[in-house]
């Protein structure tokens, strides 16, 4: 899959390009394959080997080494379509007010089926990253092309193993970034059964990182001036409350309490709703973990 991902970048109709492969402590032959690819294309490919630290530090290693005017992130199991850079670079150069270009991303199912409609919200025209980015991450990692100046302004990736990309996009969104929309297929996300990081999103150590990411996303939204009455903020407040219950169920009482309090604060006047008051009272008596366990069990039984 790494060879195919790299081949999709080499097939770009746009030049010049550089390819940075970050081998994040692979335990199979990925490192050797990466080195072989670099030997085949020494003028285009560089490999960075590091001890396993997770996707955030891997992306940070790439950011620090990147020399181009634009930056594309690509997971090793996904693909770019040949004219992606050509179309998106042209769009960003024609629209200097925009910091990111995005287009349609196709989802490839494990069965081999290609879904006919663009995934997530990549089929919708969105003018600015916020407030849309609060409702969900609007695109897949393969979708956007960023101006490098914007990435470097956002700074270092955090050492998170999940939702690091959503947090980073929300950080960028807080700058008031405008989007260029490319009405064409630009990339493909391949779902498969070989294991993706997102498959472990409910593991306690991953939930801890998700809690931190959610808290930071809310902070970025507040910095951008999104208030509690915005529909996207209402949605995110519910998301915070759900994750608070899941953290409690997973035995993470501190994260559960933090997210619950943030959910109330993000809800504005609605934070005094009877549902919040009853949950807080139950947590004070039973503990945040037990309250989360009861709540998640109740959710499953509905």
Print pLDDT tens along the chain (302 aa): 999 999 999 999 999 999 999 999 999 999 999 999 999 999 999 999 999 999 999 999 999 999 999 999 999 999 999 999 999 999 999 999 999 999 999 999 998 898 999 999 999 999 999 999 999 899 999 999 999 999 999 999 999 989 999 999 999 999 999 999 999 999 999 997 665 555 567 899 999 999 999 999 999 999 999 999 999 999 999 999 999 999 999 999 999 999 999 999 999 999 889 999 999 999 999 999 999 999 988 777 66
Q: Tell me: domain 2-194, CATH 3.90.550.10, correct?
A: yes
pLDDT at 161: 86
Query: In the numeric block, which tokens belong to residue 239?
Result: 């998301």
Dist. CA 276–CA 114, nearest whole Å: 42
Dist. CA 211–CA 163, nearest whole Å: 9
Q: Which of 187, 211, 213, 210 is nearest to 75 (CA)?
A: 187
Dist. CA 282–CA 276, nearest whole Å: 10
pLDDT at 197: 55
pLDDT at 200: 64
- Three-class SS of residue 143? coil
Instruction: Give exposure, 180-206, as e/b (b: 16+ Cβ within 10 Å).
Output: bbbeebbbbbbbeeeeeeeeeeeeeeb
- Three-class SS of residue 22? strand
- Three-class SS of residue 96? coil
Q: For residues 143 and 122, is the Cβ–Cβ distance under 8 A? A: yes
Q: Quick one: which H or E segment has residue 168?
A: helix 164-173
Domain ranges within the chain, ordered by starting residue: 2-194, 199-301
The strand pairing partners of 70, in sequence order, are 147
- Peptide bond before residue 98 is cis, with ω within 30 degrees of 0: no
């Amino acid at each position: 899959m790494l060879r195919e991902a790299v081949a999709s970048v080499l097939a770009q109709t746009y030049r010049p390009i550089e390819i940075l492969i970050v081998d994040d402590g692979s335990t199979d032959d990925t490192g050797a394959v990466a080195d072989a690819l670099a030997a085949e294309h020494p003028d285009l490919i560089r490999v960075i080997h590091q001890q396993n630290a997770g996707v955030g530090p891997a992306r940070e290693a790439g950011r620090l080494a990147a020399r181009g005017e634009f930056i594309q992130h690509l997971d090793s199991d996904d693909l770019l379509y040949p004219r992606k850079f050509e179309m998106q670079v042209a769009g960003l150069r024609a629209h200097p007010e925009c910091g990111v270009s995005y287009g349609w991303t196709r989802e490839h199912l494990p069965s081999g089926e290609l879904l006919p409609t663009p995934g997530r919200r990549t089929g919708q025209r969105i003018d600015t990253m916020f407030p849309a980015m609060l409702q969900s991450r609007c695109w897949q990692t393969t979708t956007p092309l960023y101006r490098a100046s914007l990435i470097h302004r956002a700074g270092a990736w955090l050492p998170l193993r999940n939702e690091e990309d959503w947090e980073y996009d929300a950080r960028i969104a807080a700058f008031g970034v405008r989007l260029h929309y490319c009405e064409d297929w630009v990339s493909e996300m391949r779902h498969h059964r070989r294991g993706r990081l997102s498959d472990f999103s409910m593991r306690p150590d991953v939930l801890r990182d998700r809690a931190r990411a959610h808290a930071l996303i809310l902070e970025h939204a507040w910095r951008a001036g999104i208030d509690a009455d915005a529909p996207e903020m209402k949605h995110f407040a519910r998301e915070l409350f759900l994750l608070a219950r899941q953290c409690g169920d997973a035995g993470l009482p501190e994260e559960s309490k933090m997210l619950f309090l943030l959910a109330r604060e993000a809800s504005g006047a609605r934070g005094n709703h009877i549902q919040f008051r009853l949950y807080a009272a139950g947590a004070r008596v039973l503990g945040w973990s037990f309250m989360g366990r009861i709540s998640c069990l109740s959710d499953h039984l509905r």
